[in-house]
Structure 1
Amino acid sequence: MTEKTILVMGGAHVDRRGRIAGETAPGASNPGSWFVEAGGGAFNAARNLARLGHAVRLVSPRGGDADGDIVAAAAEAAGVEDTPFVFLDRATPSYTAIIERDGNLVIALADMELYRLFSPRRLQQRAMREAMAAAGLMLTDANLPADTLSTMSRIAKAAAVPLAGIAISPAKVVRFRESLDALAFLFMNEAEARALTGEDAQNPADWPKILRATGLSAGVVTRGGRGVIAFDETQAASVVPPAIPELGDVTGAGDSLASGFLGAVLGGAGITEALRYGVAAATITVRSPLAVAEEMSQAALAAALSLVPQVEILS
């Protein structure tokens, strides 16, 4: 039986990161270098899932410019079926960051206005309704407007198609508030979990209970190198990522974790096994200088999985 397509709808834009070479001099010209690559939480996850062998289709707004060409080329390189809706007179969304020599963010500018045009009406078009009904999984992120996410969640629930979400940032994760009861999974870090719930878990093991109280039935909370927590309606588990001797760049680690986790779930894994696969995928990404590691594959995932400890079941 042919695997159903994973339909990804969300952020697909261009990331520009400028790294200062020496000590940061505010208000002055700083020597450094630029790095440009395609990005966006949903798009990063889509490319990882495609590199892991899944059939993936991307739907996202795009401008008729050179940045749009960068996104299209990245989709093609990863094997993602790219079906954007293009606004020829608009700019493709972009994220531009200035980073200090030690990796700390100085300032960033997110030009994401085009995502506002991914309105609920787009989801009502016949081609979109057919694509959502035929999908084996839908994946989105909080780059899209709240009313679009809410409409998407209702359609997914009615069609009995699981919908997973990626939080993106503390400011954006709140766009999922009206959709939480319809999400199969939500992937977030602790700052995003705090923004979503208005609470702070004094004990990380409390996150499942706090998040379930919002209506979310299952999710994953990342805590950097201190551990990752996954939960569903009946259980919760935690695992500490393996130490990485030489970090490349942590950009995209959470998106790849979502990819490894969801890929395992599609293969029939429960949350404890899926959590290990997610951490293994993130391990591959943080060893790479890219947000989506070119070496991501099932073989690489299996090798990385051997480094991931067994999970701890939380009471």
Structure 2
Amino acid sequence: MTGRTILVMGGAHVDRRGRITGETVPGASNPGSWFVEAGGGAFNAARNLSRLGHSVRLVSPRGGDADGDIVAAAAQAAGVEDTPFIFLDRATPSYTAIIERDGNLVIALADMDLYRLFSPRRLQQRALREAMAAAGLVLTDANLPAETLAAMTGAARAGGVPIAGIAISPAKVARFRDSLPGLAFLFMNEAEARTLTGAAPENPAGWPEALRAAGLPAGVVTRGGRGVIAFDANGAVVVKPPPVPALGDVTGAGDSLASGFLSAFLGGARIGEALRHGVAAAAITVRSPLAVAEEMSQAALADALSLVPQAEILS
């Protein structure tokens, strides 16, 4: 697939997930196993977009440590142009979770302090200004400071470049609040949408109106295995995800949905068809044990798309 480079600026760190193999015993040593992989909402999306054939450049803070090497290797494996801000005396951000045998989270620790150093001043660097001006799309996430997101959104709009965001979590999505009017799309789940609106609508079909009232012109709201809602200035649609016969891990599913959606959007698809592509990409990811499925490709997406129902218009 040809086209201008997608510039991704946001979270790129290491995820560690420890799964307890037996019954959880608080305050004691529990047998289990560790799984380590590169993660971060923006980085997951960047790798998916690259595997879907797009030219992708990543800009994110990173430490001069072994975790930074894991992120760099993952970027190279996915074909992402990796141009980090490296702080040799700092630790690369990380997310460490302890998970029960049934998949429920026991506790997690997010060490994300380094992202605070991605300040608005970074956006003034000539190389980054030129990269933004040349991009066909800017993609970011709520791992970055609110003032940086606002400055990034303003710069993208001034240059006529669409910018999309990934909400990350209910706590972090609030960082987008001042940037909402400038976003081309924001990808979120219902809990994150509720943070922006202050309450959930009685009918899920009310999400577009509620989010527009909060200042967001277009977005996508995921609802677990239920219908995914997308809206823009022309209307709103819903797509019901197809059944997944063998669930691997839901980690990264929302990021891949954003990737499939944006890939189709950049190809000229309308919102309903773009949402179908997003749902298909998420279906590929949830069948994989990885946050970014190695089998992600345009061919795999076409196969998955054949199982996704047509979008329905929301009244």
Q: Give the shorter-chain TM-score range.
A: over 0.9
What is aligned with 2:300? 300
- 1:19 matched to 2:13: no
Deviations 1:152-204 (A, max 9, x none): 01000100000000000000000000000000000000000001111112110
What is aligned with 1:152? 152
Letter in 1 for 2:93: P
**Distance in structure 2 (CA, Å) of the matches to 1:98 and 1:202:** 34
Q: SS of 1:170's equivalent?
A: coil
What is aligned with 1:48? 48
What is aligned with 1:248? 248
Letter in 2 for 1:255: D
Task: Give the Å deviation of 1:268.
Answer: 0.2
Q: SS of 1:76's equivalent?
A: helix
What is aligned with 1:113? 113
Letter in 2 for 1:29: S
What is aligned with 1:130? 130
2:163–2:184 contact (8 Å) kept in structure 1: yes
**Distance in structure 2 (CA, Å) of the matches to 1:99 and 1:132:** 39
2:257–2:280 contact (8 Å) kept in structure 1: yes
* Pairing 1:206-245 to 2, within 5 Å after superposition: 206-245=206-245
What is aligned with 2:279? 279
What is aligned with 1:69? 69
- 1:201 matched to 2:201: yes
After superposition, the CA RMSD in angstroms is: 0.8
Task: Give the Å deviation of 1:2.
Answer: 5.3
**Distance in structure 1 (CA, Å) of the matches to 2:204 and 2:143:** 27
Task: Give the Å deviation of 1:239.
Answer: 1.0
Letter in 2 for 1:48: N
What is aligned with 1:288? 288
**Distance in structure 2 (CA, Å) of the matches to 1:311 and 1:111:** 39
Q: Which residues of structure 2 form unaligned runs of 5+?
A: none
Q: SS of 1:188's equivalent?
A: strand
Letter in 1 for 2:273: E
Task: Give the Å deviation of 1:218.
Answer: 0.5
**Distance in structure 1 (CA, Å) of the matches to 2:311 and 2:24:** 41
**Distance in structure 2 (CA, Å) of the matches to 1:121 and 1:185:** 24
What is aligned with 1:99? 99
Deviations 1:5-55 (A, max 9, x none): 000000000000000001110111110000000000000000000000000
- Structure 1 segments of 4 or more deviating over 6 A? none
Letter in 1 for 2:34: W
**Distance in structure 1 (CA, Å) of the matches to 2:83 and 2:31:** 39
**Distance in structure 2 (CA, Å) of the matches to 1:259 and 1:281:** 7
Letter in 2 for 1:99: I
**Distance in structure 2 (CA, Å) of the matches to 1:169 and 1:92:** 20
**Distance in structure 2 (CA, Å) of the matches to 1:2 and 1:43:** 20
Task: Give the Å deviation of 1:215.
Answer: 1.4
**Distance in structure 1 (CA, Å) of the matches to 2:5 and 2:246:** 35
Letter in 1 for 2:180: L
**Distance in structure 2 (CA, Å) of the matches to 1:76 and 1:58:** 11
**Distance in structure 2 (CA, Å) of the matches to 1:237 and 1:3:** 27
**Distance in structure 2 (CA, Å) of the matches to 1:307 and 1:293:** 18
**Distance in structure 1 (CA, Å) of the matches to 2:24 and 2:196:** 34
How many residues were matched structurally? 315
What is aligned with 1:174? 174
Q: Compare 233-242 and 271-280 and name the one that shifted more.
A: 233-242
Percent of residue pairs bearing the same amino acid type: 83
Deviations 1:276-303 (A, max 9, x none): 0000000000000000000000000000
Deviations 1:135-159 (A, max 9, x none): 0000000000000000001000100
The normalised TM-score by structure 2 is: 0.99
Q: SS of 2:98's equivalent?
A: strand
Q: SS of 2:46's equivalent?
A: helix
Letter in 1 for 2:248: G
Q: Which residues of structure 1 form unaligned runs of 5+?
A: none
Q: SS of 1:178's equivalent?
A: helix
2:2–2:53 contact (8 Å) kept in structure 1: no
Q: SS of 2:102's equivalent?
A: coil
**Distance in structure 1 (CA, Å) of the matches to 2:312 and 2:204:** 13
